[in-house]
Structure 1
Amino acid sequence: MEDEKMNHNTSPANGYSAVDSALSLSKETKWAGSPVQFEFFEHVEFPVDALPETLARMTDQVSDVTQTSVDAAGAVILSMISVAAARKFIVRLVEGEGWVEKNNLYVLIAMPSGERKSAIYSHLSKPVIEFERMIENPLFRTEHGIRVQRYITDDVTPQALIQQLSENDERMALLSTEGGLFDNLNHKHYGNQAKLDVFLRAFTGDRMVIDRKNTSKIILNDPTLTMCIFVQPSVLQALPDRYTGQGFMGRFLYVLPPSKRGHRTTEIKSIPTDLFQSYRELIHHIMKFEPAAPVELALTLEALNKLQEFREWFEIKLRDGEELSHDFLRSWSERIPGQIVRIASLLHVSEQAMFGMPFDDSFERKISEETMNKAIALGNYFIAHAKAAFGCFKSNLEIEDAKYLLEVLKRKQIQKYKRQELWSTVKGKFGTAEKFDSALIILAERGFLRADITKSLRGRNGMSIECHPDLIDRVVEVIPPHTKPKTEQEG
């Protein structure tokens, strides 16, 4: 399910519809759980031991050499396996027509400037870039049956990506350390629904038929895109609503690594040659494999049972009022069981490749319970980081305004308000009704309040606002930001 994200445009022409869309949804929600807190994220470290040995050692080494957390290195390594294995394997969970999962990933790593993301990417993408250069030799391509001309793109428009997919066996990897994709999509000619289609469909492999004036028809039967993009957190804050509303951002696995600045060692280190060679051989072994059709993987009965246990536990987290039922997380969380299956397939393939096992009839096609447990551990990691990313989809100023309004509600300890009564209390802080409404919307999306929309645009001040019961009996002193304490004379 891809629920549309609320439109947060609160201009006079659209103000009531924005409040209506956010708060009326909240009204329909029973108080079935606690609100999503602003400071609920405690960093969960990437579970390195979930990776096959060579990849785990490489993750630790790159983290040590670059003096960065293991989070970014681990996420990039998963992405590189996805680049190498894309469209070569699928997972069929039940026989016949049913749930089939691909293995390409969309990964987004949010790191501030100066956090050595280019060094991380350079170390771990090197085998893929080397292989891309190797296939420039026609004899090499012929010897290994390679059907593509290239693997990687970076600064690309949606139209150019469609063309690249059509010329490269319908697979491509968008790898970037600067997040230029979002600059391109923010362009007025590229950011609409039609231009997002290729990114939406290339995740799931949905068929595309492109008919354009003055160009030949392009048919993509199974477009497959892998993405690994580094962005600064401010990029997430500036994203237009349409990206979350159409499910685009709901396709990404999010990583928010902690900074080690100020705590890094200054010793100059290097990755052991034998380890890097093992990593290179693993990546190249998968890249050389070119099946005529994707190899079908399956789950052992034990692995399937583990996945089902996770899904049953996770389904409860999706109920109205639970953390994952709110706003952006609602769309994102629907995909996490499938993401776990994708990760399990990548772990399985890389485990086989680590020992140089040929991908022939002797290749083990069933994913084990142990591998599924590791994939679930990684899934839980990505759930924690998606919650943190949810807090980034608003500007700092909007978030701070919402926090201030929340503290006012906690201090006043009143269950229900008329909008005008609450506005009168805080208008000195907010200044404009639009800022006030934006704060109301954020609190409603997080489940802190709900409203009875019974008035027309002109009668919006009569709106009834109800606070979540958790806010009652939580008295907190509120000091408006940027205000000076009163002197005794002023008091």
Structure 2
Amino acid sequence: MTATVRHLAAVPTDQAAQAGWDVPVPLGTNAAAPPPFPLDVLPGWARDMVDAVATFTQTDPSMGAGVLLPVLSACAARRLVVEGKPGWHEPVNVYAATIAGPGERKSPVHGALVKPLFQAQQQMAEHVRPLIEQEAARRDIAQRTAEQARATAAKADAERRDAATAEALAAVMAVEEIAVPTLPRLICDDHTPEALVSLMAANGGRMAVISDEGGIFDTLAGRYSGTPNLDPYLKGYSGGHMSSDRQTRAGETIEDPALTVGVMTQPSALRKFAANPELFGRGLPARFWFIMPRSLAGYRDQDSPPVPVSVTARYESTVRTLAATLAEWDGPRVLTLTEEASRVRAAAAATIEEQLRPGGALSDMREWANKLYGAMLRLAGLLHLAHHPTDAWERPISAERMSQAAQVTAWLIAHYTAAVALVHGDPAGETAHDVLAVLVAKDMRAFTRRELHRRVHRKLPRAEQVTAVLATLAQHGWVRTTASGDYELHPDAHTYVNGALLSR
């Protein structure tokens, strides 16, 4: 992702004003860069890991936070719910999509933060494997007994037929009573909706789709069929009742399913997903938190220090213990709010409601923003669990934690706003923005069209493309023609663009 031109001041500098320049207009999708994740809302074991991974990979901490939240969700989904007020129970599973271009080091960040979930899953599998082998052997013996009983009944004479048939039926029923456990799963990658439902049914109604690729968006857009089955993703977000008759012959029924989604993908995949009319019409994009980490390419330290071993060990131990402990529970426990936390929630909710009014900051994204009330509670539950990983379910959520949830909610709003701008932005404006960055980087305060063409010929190989971009920059007030027919750059462009770069 290229540098973002920040919102400009209301007046140009004195030098620009004296030269007859006005304030230039921001280009295309390029609103202010989304803020970094507020790391101070996390406890030390999580904060240190996200910060150290960001330092080592030279990435925005928002990228790591975009993985951490689904990791916490994978541990707590269908095990904890938050009571916002009497009669309102909000689950804590989340859908998050981190958007970053190629080469932005998504995979190393993902691998470091998701690793303990796989470790916990392996430990759980090793624990249950002897029981699986035992029950599989019992079922195999029972099946053979039933087959022999059926054969005996089929050959029995009239006098013995009724008794032999009864024995055969009893043997068949004995087979059905032996349930062979499956290997427990916490996490999976890219699956069809049908396979996902089967995984959820086999794992107590919950599953986490966490991946450093965006294949899920292709799946939902109908990679495997012309009409995608959205039920696992629609009902897996808020719970309720989900029947899998469509997916399997067994026809499992899942009560209160809880699906976690945490994927990393590229801007092109986001555009395709969010602009899909069927997905948008069913409200699926509105369930996602889109996280837009700043690109640090060009400013990265190639000798950055590795993540300290002690930081990794503490993080992995905490996540493994959380995942294994909560996996053993049968049902959810309710997290309540203290009275002060309830007041904080109500005040934050009132602010959101006001911003939803016509002309308000959230009025143009109401479908997504209407879910912020629940999102704030989900965040409060996850932050509460992170701060109290050994006994969160035995204490109420504090006002401090609810305030932190409101702070992260504001962070989500800023990132969603940037994602919307990316999806609906003008591609011509994006190209012009990239060219403007070149003009600033090369200090081309006065230049000819041919000089610019030499600088950007790989991106704009044809002369008419350069002419069109210059026309866009001139219309927005970033460049203007001189009496000789050449061009000059706005005197304040360096301040605006470099300021945005430094804020990234």
- 1:43 equivalent in structure 2: 34
CA contact (8 A) 1:41 1:387 kept: no
Q: Highest CA radius of gyration, 1 or 2?
A: 2
Equivalences for residues 280-299 of structure 1 within 5 A = 280-289=316-325, 290-299=328-337
Q: How high is the TM-score relative to the length of structure 2?
A: 0.67
Deviation at 1:480? 12
- 1:153 equivalent in structure 2: 188
Match of 1:393 among 399, 403, 423: 423
Match of 2:475 among 466, 474, 478: 478
Say yes or no: does 1:128 pair with 2:117.
yes
- 1:211 equivalent in structure 2: 245
- 2:203 equivalent in structure 1: 168
Unaligned runs of 5+ in 1: 1-36, 404-475
CA contact (8 A) 1:170 1:222 kept: yes
CA contact (8 A) 2:29 2:426 kept: no
| Cα distance between partner residues in 2 of 1:385 and 1:264 | 22
Match of 1:63 among 54, 60, 68: 54
- Identical pairs, percent: 30
Say yes or no: does 1:181 pair with 2:216.
yes
Q: Deviations over 1:293-349 (max 9, x none)?
A: 2111100000010000001111011112323222xx221100111111111111111
- 2:83 equivalent in structure 1: 92
Deviation at 1:191? 6.1
Residues 46 and 212 of structure 1, relative CA distance in 2, 3 Å threshold: closer
| Cα distance between partner residues in 1 of 2:346 and 2:268 | 37
Unaligned runs of 5+ in 2: 1-27, 132-180, 434-472, 486-504
Match of 2:307 among 239, 263, 271: 271
Residues 400 and 44 of structure 1, relative CA distance in 2, 3 Å threshold: closer
- 2:298 equivalent in structure 1: 262
Residues 400 and 90 of structure 1, relative CA distance in 2, 3 Å threshold: same
Q: Secondary structure at the match of 2:73?
A: helix
Q: Deviations over 1:372-397 (max 9, x none)?
A: 11111111000110111111223643
Residues 370 and 147 of structure 1, relative CA distance in 2, 3 Å threshold: farther
| Cα distance between partner residues in 2 of 1:141 and 1:294 | 28
Match of 1:75 among 46, 57, 66: 66
Match of 1:115 among 97, 104, 110: 104
| Cα distance between partner residues in 1 of 2:194 and 2:75 | 24
- 1:10 equivalent in structure 2: none
- 2:232 equivalent in structure 1: 198
Across the aligned residues of Structure 1 and Structure 2, the Cα RMSD in angstroms comes to 3.0
Residues 486 and 340 of structure 1, relative CA distance in 2, 3 Å threshold: same
| Cα distance between partner residues in 1 of 2:52 and 2:102 | 22
Say yes or no: does 1:237 pair with 2:271.
yes
Residues 84 and 254 of structure 1, relative CA distance in 2, 3 Å threshold: same
Deviation at 1:477? 6.5
Equivalences for residues 247-258 of structure 1 within 5 A = 247-258=283-294
Residues 480 and 307 of structure 1, relative CA distance in 2, 3 Å threshold: closer
Residues 70 and 141 of structure 1, relative CA distance in 2, 3 Å threshold: farther
CA contact (8 A) 2:125 2:183 kept: no
CA contact (8 A) 1:92 1:297 kept: yes
Deviation at 1:285? 1.9
Say yes or no: does 1:370 pair with 2:400.
yes
Q: Deviations over 1:49-94 (max 9, x none)?
A: 0111211111110000111111111221111111111111111223
Q: Secondary structure at the match of 1:226?
A: strand
How many equivalent pairs are there? 366
| Cα distance between partner residues in 2 of 1:398 and 1:197 | 37
Deviation at 1:140? 8.0
Deviation at 1:479? 7.8
Residues 180 and 396 of structure 1, relative CA distance in 2, 3 Å threshold: farther
Deviation at 1:130? 0.9
Deviation at 1:292? 2.3
| Cα distance between partner residues in 2 of 1:334 and 1:318 | 8
Q: Deviations over 1:203-230 (max 9, x none)?
A: 0012112324982222111111111111
Q: Secondary structure at the match of 1:393?
A: helix
Match of 1:332 among 365, 368, 379: 368
| Cα distance between partner residues in 2 of 1:311 and 1:166 | 35
- 1:415 equivalent in structure 2: none
Structure with more of its chain in helix, by fraction: 2
Residues 221 and 398 of structure 1, relative CA distance in 2, 3 Å threshold: farther
CA contact (8 A) 1:135 1:141 kept: no
Residues 213 and 86 of structure 1, relative CA distance in 2, 3 Å threshold: closer
Aligned-partner residue type, residue 83 of structure 2: R
Deviation at 1:42? 3.2
Q: Secondary structure at the match of 1:208?
A: strand
